Amino acid sequence: MEKTVMRPSPGLIVRDPVTGQPLRAKGAPVDLSLPYWRRRLKQGDISPPDDGASADKTAASKKGS
């Protein structure tokens, strides 16, 4: 399970399929091994945050492995 920080595209509300809660506008970790999140990414509903938090989170998770 690889978690990557993603945020909803501007003007969209994207709900987490597990919790039912909207994805935070600043971004939140999502499991891209789940088909739901891969579809959202492919359709452009979610994207990595602009501030580089995704790269930092990915690097930190690999460092801890």
Range of the domain at 21: 3-64
Residue 59 Rama label (left phi>0; alpha psi -120 to 50; beta): alpha
What number of other Cβ atoms are within 10 A of residue 60's Cβ? 10
User: pTM for this one?
Assistant: 0.71
What is the total count of domains within the chain? 1
Quick: pLDDT tens for 3-26: 999 999 999 999 999 999 999 999
Quick: pLDDT tens for 22-38: 999 999 999 999 999 99
CA 39/CA 59 separation, integer angstroms: 24
Distance of CA 39 to the CA centre of its chain: 12
For the four alpha carbons of 32, 36, 39 and 43, in that order, the dihedral sign comes to negative
